[in-house]
Structure formats: C-alpha cells, structure tokens
C-alpha cells in the first residue's frame, strides 16, 4: 500500500486551532482512489437477533524516521460514498490500540457522500440521528466543513505517532454497500507540553507563552502544587468490595456503605465495577443519607462488553449515551456499541450521569449511602463500588442562590448569585444579572451592556434611548452592535428598524446576519395590537431579544450558565463578574439608581450607535430627569393611586390592572401592573 506524507510548516489545520512555530502539521494517507468495499449488513440471525460485526478496514503506517515527536493534535478526513443515505460508524484506532469513534447515523438528509474532516476543536457537531433536515446535504458532502467526532480525538494526544493507524467502517444498513474512497490522518507534532494533559482529568492544562511549559487549573477536589504543574487528588474515597449477584429480567440488588466523616459535601462522584454477560440495560441509582437520589441509566451502549467500569461525575466532558435507537436488535459492532467498549470498560474515563449528583451538594456526608442496580435483561454482578467525596470550603455547595440563579464563589466562604437573564423595558424598569430591580426615568442614550471581549474581541454593545412622557420615561429605541454591524429598532406604529443604518419597516429582509449571528423577526398578535420581536441567536442557548409594543421597546438578555457571551460585561445590567452596579472605573459600586443611570449615559468619547442624534448628549447635557409630580401617594408598585398626568377619560383601576397582568409570572407581575396604571392602558399587559 502506497504511503504518502506531506509536511506543512506553520499551517493551521482548522480555523479554531492555532499551530505555533515549534509545531508541524503532518498529513498521512494510504493513497487516493482506495475504492475499498464497505460490506452491506447481513440479515439478523433469527435465533439470536444478533448481527455479526461486518466492516471494512484501511491501515497506514507512520515510519520511525518522521515520528520523532509526540502527538499534539489529531484530525482525520474521510471520503465515503454509498448507494443509499450515509448510515455508518467510523472508528479510528492508534498504534497503541487507543480508539475513538464517529457515529454517522442517517444525518445527511439523503446524501450519498460523506466527505468530512473530524476535529475536536471544530464548532459543529455531526448529529447522531436524522432530523429530516435536507440542508444536511451540503453539510456532509462539502468536504470543507470541520465537525467534532462523537468521542474525543484527544485520546491520542501525547502519544508517539510511529506505528500502524487503522480506519474501520461499519455499515449500519442491510442490503446497501458503500465504498471508502480515501482517508487522511492529520497530525500536529512538536512542542506541546499539555498534550496528554499532564494535570490529569478532569483538570485543565494551559500552555505558557512560547509553548514550552504549562500550568494546571485544578478543579474542585484537587490541590495545586506550588509551581502549578501538578494537581493532587484530595478527595475522600470510600470503597466497598462486593460480589453481589444482580438477577436479570428486572431483578434488583442493593449495596450500602457507611461514611463516618462529619463534613459538608462540596461534590460527589461514584465509581462502579459491574460484570454481566451483556451490560445491556442497567439502571444504577445512588441514594444519600438524606434520601435524595441520582440515577444513571446504562442502556445498550457498551458494545456487548462484559464490563462496566466507570466513574460518574457531573463535571465530566463525556455523557454516557442513554440507549440505542436502532431497529429493535442488539447489533455487535454497530451504532454506538463497539466504540463504547473503550468508555465502558476503561475505568479511567469519567462520564456524566443521567441524574445530577449535585443534589447531594451542601448536605452532610455522614450516614448510609446505598447503590441500587437493576438489570432488565441478563444476570450481572456488582464487584465493587466507591463513593468519591470532596469536602471543605465550598460556599456554593447546594446552590444557596436558589434554582434560577448561578452561584459563583468569590472566596473561601463568600459567593455571588447571578442569573442567566437580565432585561430593560416598560417605563422603564431595569433588572440586573442579580435580578435587582430599579427604575431610572432620565431621558438620554445609555449603555445597557458593553462587552468588548465578546467573540474574540469582536465586541458587543447594547444601547437604549429613553424619552420622557408625563412624569416618567420609556425606552423609545434600542440598538445592538456586534463587530461592525448594527440593528436598531424603534417603537410606534410605523414598525421602524435600521440595519447598519439603512431604514426598513416591512420585515422582508429577515432573517439577517449581524456580526455573523442570525436575527429572526416575528410579529406576535396579543389583543388588538402587534408585538414585534427580533431574536439574535448567539449560540449555546444565549440570545439578545429586542421587542416593541406600541411605543415601548424592551430588551431581554439570555446567558448560558457560565455567562458565555456576557461574561465580563458591564453597563446598566451590572457587572456579570460580580453582579454589582459598577461605575465605569470598574471599582465604585453605585447603589443609587439615579446616579447609576447617569453614570452609564453614552459619553462623548463613545461612538453614537443610533442612526441620528436626539435628546440630551454628553458633554453638554446629562440625562434629563422628569418633574416627579403626583396627585397623591407614592410612585410604587401595588398602589391603587393614579397619576396626575394621566389622560382624561376612564381610569384603569388596580383590580383591572391585576386582571390584565394575571398571565405574567410573579417576579414581573408588579411591574406589569404598574405600567398598566402608569399608561392608563390595559393593553400594556400585552408587552409582558
């Protein structure tokens, strides 16, 4: 078999992977036009319902003379054709028999070609099942798209490149053959001190400048050495050796261990060692002293291996699949099966359980812990299991912030609570990342959010423009800027918006891209009026949502649990790092809402994002404050009093406002009621 190699110095394999001057990208191929037949799957044996492992294999040998350094990164490219839509399993095995797999399950929308490069650092993930999206044709057939494999290629990092590499392809369909036309191994070698993660899983290794040394980011339960180069496991392990039979066909077995320690739980993991004729359908349930439980369903994912030796950990990168969704048989060497032998039988790989182990965080560890295992099919044996507990200073254990908030530790005993949402709207009401609510009735242009670090310094800004009406104000316009692109919207009946400063009103331009991110537009009927919603999808569940209702504009920001796109942002929503209402100096905390609002007026030195200049502008004018004149009582939520400046005619009662806002969740119901009373317009409830 012909061996080809190409050495490319300083070449970047994928846009998201950087290669230093001390690294070399090497490409190895067994040759083009292989034309290797991938056999069709035979029919199952009716007696066993098992289908023998049928595959095609191609190998290449990396010789000693060009493999003088260890692997820093591995990618691979395949070119496969089939008579019918692609449905196969691609397995790459290294010289030391380390294996990774890529499942390609009928995801190409009917395409008969799979020309793809698999790369751990790719932005896209190839779906595990067909979703009816015919657009996947281009995705699978382009050859220029990088996708992440199902199991990480990083298992090869730090290993020598020398030896035999093999690519094995299983055809999941019966009656349809395919062909492997060519494949290519893409190896980055050189100086990569973090290859193989010397810090140990689940800790993170970070290379220092020049890629000659590294430092360790040690996770909870691990202590960092003085020089930062090692992580020492400080967790407490409570093992129990058993030899307990687990009856098949729905049988259940339990094992209990007692923990004498008398400290608070920061984190819990557990390890199991189970053998069975086939670890096909197991349910593993851990119950703590407080009666709380976490379950891990292990369903037909272990390739008919006889062992399940696994550590279950909420923070693991890999989730154990919950089951095989195929055609009703158990397939030897099929689908998610064979490749997972390495996962299920390793014991060194941590996987996320089906139920969260964080239910135990913050509870006392002392007491009896019970592991219950049920087997739906074959008899099994529980050989050993262990409880792995991290204790110590962990102020966020048990999430004292509550269900809808994220707890972030700021010290050994201190923490801050941040939400995944913040907003501005109404007359106007501002809700920070800590869900602290305040009103600011000044009229001017203000910085709602500024994050210059967003998307590798592309930057993201949200500005709002407020106008005075009677003795309160409202947001008339809002503008989002990502990179050099802007989307500006304005309230009112004319449905006005500006895309990069160009006026529009019909909505026909949407969906559009702002800074590379998709913006969708919908009109939503609520009562006699229309609400217009512009949703900017930032990925990973994060969004910027701009809405108009009559004259009013509102802005909702939706973050991921780690802050993602909004981490490090400042402005009227507060600091995402601390949740504080920080001034521009990044240190002063402003508790007074008027001072805080004035602080974040757009400055002369900052770019004016809106398409035109209106209202008070720095440095000549600060935000204009309305004359706070009332008929009686205070301006405060829940009060039945009306405002002096309300238009003549029928006055909305507090009871009517409550009824109109009945659909609004409790946290925002008060502000809805207030806005209905302030505007004397029951339809204002439609903005919520």
Give per-residue pLDDT as tens, 8-65: 222 222 222 333 444 556 666 666 556 666 665 555 444 333 334 567 788 888 876 6
What residue spans in the chain does CATH classification 2.60.120.260 cover?
4-190, 236-391
608-613, long-range: CB within 8 Å, 24+ apart, which pairs?
608/445, 609/461, 609/463, 609/479, 609/481, 609/486, 609/488, 610/445, 610/463, 610/465, 610/477, 610/479, 610/488, 611/488, 611/498, 611/501, 611/503
Answer whether 300's CB lies under 8 Å from 280's CB.
yes
CA distance 510 to 240: 60
As a whole number of Å, the end-to-end CA separation of the chain is 68
**What is the SS3 assignment for 431?**
strand
Residues in the chain: 688
Residue 478: name the closest of 592, 582, 571, 559 by CA.
571
Q: Return the percent helix, strand and coil in the chain, to nearest 5.
A: 10, 40, 50
Contact (CB, 8 A) for 153 and 69: no
Measured in degrees and rounded to the nearest 5, phi and psi for residue 553 equal -120, 140
| Number of Cα atoms under 13 Å in the Cβ half of residue 410 | 12
3-class DSSP assignment, residue 148: strand
Q: Dihedral, CA atoms, 608, 613, 619, 621, nearest 10 degrees?
A: -140
User: Which parts of 156-307 fold into alpha helices (H)?
Assistant: none
Cis peptide before 417 (omega within 30 of 0): no
| Distance, CA of 522 to chain centre | 25
Listed as ranges, residues in the chain with pLDDT below 50 are 1-22, 44-52, 67, 128-139, 279, 300-304, 322-343, 345-346, 527-528, 628-647
Q: With beta carbons less than 8 A apart as the criterion, state whether 331 and 50 touch.
A: yes
Backbone φ, ψ for residue 500 (5° rounding): 50, 40
Q: Do residues 347 and 312 make contact, with C-beta atoms less than 8 angstroms apart?
A: no
CATH code, residues 236-391: 2.60.120.260
Using alpha carbons only, what angle is made at residue 129 by residues 34 and 333, rounded to the nearest 5 degrees? 55
DSSP character string of 548-595? EETTEEEEEEE--TT-GGGTT-BSTT--TTT---B-TTSS-B--SHHH
Measured distance CA(244)–CA(242) in Å, rounded: 6
CA distances from 239 to 213, 356, 362, 674 (A): 36, 21, 21, 59
> Is 351:313 a contact under the CB 8 Å cutoff?
yes
At residue 262, the pLDDT reads 81
Q: Are 99 and 339 in contact (CB under 8 A)?
A: yes
Please choose, from the candidates 333, 332, 335, 284, the residue with its C-alpha nearest in 3D space to the C-alpha of residue 308: 284
According to DSSP, residue 10 is labeled T
E-strand ranges in 52-122 read 55-62, 71-82, 87-93, 99-105, 113-118
Task: Provide the token pair at 447.
Answer: 């910085």
Contact between 277 and 296 under an 8 Å Cβ cutoff? The reply is: no
Q: How far is CA 503 from CA 144, 187, 487, 499, 610, in A?
A: 36, 50, 10, 7, 12
1, burial (CB in 10 Å: exposed 0-12, middle 13-18, buried 19+): exposed
- Give kind and range of the element (H or E) at residue 446: strand 445-451
Decide: residue 41, CB within 10 A, 0-12 exposed, 13-18 middle, 19+ buried.
buried
**Phi and psi angles of residue 322, each rounded to the nearest 5 degrees, phi first:** -90, -5
Instruction: Report the alpha-carbon distance of residue 570 to residue 98 in Å, rounded.
Output: 46
* Spatial separation of the C-alpha atoms in residues 317 and 426, rounded to whole Å: 41
The pLDDT assigned to 466 comes to 94
What topology does CATH give the domain 4-190? Jelly Rolls (2.60.120)
CA dihedral 634, 636, 641, 646 (to 10 degrees): 100
Question: Considering all CA atoms of the chain, what is the largest pairwise distance in Å, rounded to the nearest integer?
Answer: 92
- Integer Cα distance of 36 and 26 in angstroms: 24
* Residue closest to 157 by CA, chosen among 116, 124, 192: 192
Q: What residues contact residue 563 under an 8 Å CB cut-off, 6+ apart?
A: 418, 576
Q: What are phi and psi of 420, to 5 degrees?
A: -95, 15
**In whole angstroms, what is the distance from residue 269 CA to residue 311 CA?**
7
Token digits for 419? 């939400």
Looking up tokens 């260890």 gives 70
The torsion region of residue 551 among left (phi > 0), alpha (psi -120 to 50) and beta comes to alpha
What gap in Å lies between CA 505 and CA 551, rounded to an integer?
A: 15
> What distances in angstroms separate CA 546 from CA 98, 533, 687, one per listed residue?
49, 6, 12
Cα 98 to Cα 29, 58, 155, distances in angstroms: 19, 16, 7
Q: Helices in 206-312 by DSSP H: which ranges?
A: none
């Amino acid at each position: 078999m012909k061996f080809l190699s190409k050495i490319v110095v300083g070449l970047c394999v994928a846009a998201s992977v950087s290669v230093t001057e001390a690294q070399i990208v090497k490409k190895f191929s067994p040759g083009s036009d292989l034309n290797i037949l991938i056999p069709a799957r035979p029919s199952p044996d009716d007696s066993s319902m098992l289908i023998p492992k049928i595959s095609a294999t191609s190998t290449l040998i990396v010789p000693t003379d060009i493999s003088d350094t260890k692997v820093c990164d591995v990618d691979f490219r395949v070119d496969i054709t089939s008579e019918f839509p692609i449905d196969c399993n691609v397995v790459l095995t290294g010289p030391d028999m380390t294996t990774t797999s890529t499942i390609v399950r009928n995801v190409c929308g009917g395409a008969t070609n799979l020309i793809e490069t698999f790369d751990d650092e790719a932005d896209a993930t190839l779906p595990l099942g067909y979703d009816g999206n015919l657009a996947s044709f281009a995705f699978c057939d382009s050859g220029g798209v990088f996708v992440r494999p199902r199991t990480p290629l990083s298992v090869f990092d730090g290993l020598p490149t020398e030896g035999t590499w093999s690519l094995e392809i299983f055809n999941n369909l019966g009656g349809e053959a395919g062909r492997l036309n060519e494949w290519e191994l893409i190896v980055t070698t050189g100086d990569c001190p973090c290859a193989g993660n010397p810090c140990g899983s689940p800790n993170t290794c970070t290379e220092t400048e020049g890629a000659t040394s590294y430092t360790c980011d040690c996770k909870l339960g691990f202590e960092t050495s003085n020089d930062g180069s090692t992580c020492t496991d400080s967790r407490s392990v409570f093992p129990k050796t058993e030899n307990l039979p687990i009856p098949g066909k729905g049988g259940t077995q339990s094992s209990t261990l007692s923990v004498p320690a008398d400290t608070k739980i920061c984190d819990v993991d557990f390890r199991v060692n189970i053998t069975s004729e086939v670890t096909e359908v197991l349910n593993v349930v851990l119950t703590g002293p407080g009666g709380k439980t976490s379950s891990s369903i292990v369903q037909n994912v272990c390739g008919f291996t006889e062992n399940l030796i696994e550590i279950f950990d909420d923070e693991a990168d890999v989730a154990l699949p919950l089951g095989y969704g195929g055609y009703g048989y158990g397939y030897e060497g099929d689908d998610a099966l064979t490749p997972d032998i390495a996962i299920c039988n390793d014991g060194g790989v941590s996987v996320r359980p089906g139920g969260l182990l964080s239910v135990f965080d913050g509870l006392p560890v002392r007491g009896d812990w019970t592991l219950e295992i049920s087997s739906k099919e074959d008899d099994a044996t529980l050989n050993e299991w262990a409880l792995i507990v991290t204790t110590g200073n962990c102020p966020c254990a048990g999430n004292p912030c509550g269900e809808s908030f994220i707890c972030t530790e700021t010290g050994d005993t201190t923490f801050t609570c941040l939400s995944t949402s913040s907003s501005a709207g109404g007359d106007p009401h501002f809700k920070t990342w800590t869900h602290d609510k305040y009103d600011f009735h000044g009229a001017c242009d203000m910085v709602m959010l500024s994050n210059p670090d967003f998307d590798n310094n592309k930057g993201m800004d949200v500005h709002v423009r407020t106008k005075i009406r009677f003795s309160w104000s409202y947001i008339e316009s809002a503008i989002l800027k990502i990179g050099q692109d802007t989307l500006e919207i304005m309230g009112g009946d004319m449905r006005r918006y500006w895309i990069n400063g160009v006026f529009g009103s019909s909505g026909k331009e949407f969906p559009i891209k702002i800074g590379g991110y998709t913006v969708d537009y919908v009109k939503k009927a609520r009562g006699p009026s229309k609400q217009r919603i512009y949703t900017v999808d930032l990925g990973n569940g994060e969004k910027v949502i701009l809405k108009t209702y009559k004259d009013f504009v509102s802005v909702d920001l939706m973050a991921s649990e780690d802050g993602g796109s909004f981490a490090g942002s400042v402005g009227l929503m507060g600091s995402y790092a601390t949740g504080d209402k920080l001034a521009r100096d990044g240190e002063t905390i402003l508790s007074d809402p008027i001072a805080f609002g004035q602080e974040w007026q757009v400055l002369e030195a900052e770019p004016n994002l809106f398409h035109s200049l209106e209202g008070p502008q720095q440095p000549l004018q600060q935000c204009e404050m309305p004359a706070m004149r009332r008929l009686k009582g205070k301006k405060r939520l829940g009060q039945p009093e009306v405002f002096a400046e309300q238009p003549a005619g029928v006055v909305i009662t507090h009871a009517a406002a409550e009824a109109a806002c009945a659909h609004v969740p409790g946290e925002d119901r008060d502000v809805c009621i207030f806005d209905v009373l302030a505007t004397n317009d029951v339809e204002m409830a439609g903005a919520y």
